[in-house]
Amino acid sequence: MELLKTVEVETGTNVNAAVIWLHGLGSNGHDFEPIIPQLKLPGEKSARFILPHAPSIPITINGGMVMPAWFDILKHGERHIDAGQLLSSAAAIHKLIDREIDRGIASDQIILVGFSQGGAVCLQAGLTYDKPLSGILGLSTFFPSAEAITPHPSNGSLPIQIFHGTLDTMLPEWMAENTVKYLKKMGYHPHYKTYPMSHSVCPEEIEDISQWLQDRLL
């Protein structure tokens, strides 16, 4: 499997952590690049942000239109996706994690962040990775593989934060609530916070993302 093409941004000179941040449907790795300076990470929290580009594939609910996506969505709902493509995308993220370890980053200083279907891939990839990670941050996301996934013991107590908009009509809040419910059923202790926003990111959330990342980074 070839490595995904990525955008990389380092926030300091002594990088000792990595944040792999996945975009949502129809976007690309540049989507969240402008947010990185807004996070205002302190100098001692230097991190390498890796923002991969999803491959372009036909999307069934969009009339077969070809666009960047981590997996096909067959129809609206939690489970109506191409599960094989989700697993393939998770495997591609595992490869990016492996590369960061090869570059000298400890696995427990690697964080996965994902927006929308990017968050779904992060949940699948993070919970099944065979070395301990630092955490998963899901932004306006859902958990389509919840009933099929087998978490790896190495990440059996992985810190997880879920942020979601109460006005989200693309992925209604009940999907986020179900994500939290499924994670708790698996024995995790996810934190959950909402914002009065649609399927997007708001300034208050960016501040919370910054604080959460700082709490996870050495």
Q: Look up 168 and say whether it is catalytic.
A: yes
Q: Which of 199, 200, 208, 210 is catalytic?
A: 199
Strands 65-68 and 191-195 come out as: unpaired
Q: Look up 53 and say whether it is catalytic.
A: no
Q: Which of 27, 107, 116, 134 is catalytic?
A: 116
11 DSSP assignment: S
Give how far Cα 213 sits from Cα of 13, 37, 57, 91, 141, Å: 18, 13, 31, 24, 18
Q: Look up 215 and say whether it is catalytic.
A: no
Q: Which of 31, 72, 82, 168 is catalytic?
A: 168
For residues 28 and 7, give the distance between their C-alpha atoms in angstroms, rounded to a whole number: 9
* Three-state DSSP string of 182-200: HHHHCCCCCEEEEECCCCC
Please report the DSSP string for 105-174 in residue order. --GGGEEEEEETHHHHHHHHHHHH-SS--SEEEEES---TTTTT----GGGTT--EEEEEETT-SSS-HH
> Is residue 199 a contact partner of residue 176, using CB atoms and an 8 Å limit?
no
Q: What angle do CA 182, 186, 187 make, to 5 degrees?
A: 120
The residues carrying an active-site annotation are 116, 168, 199
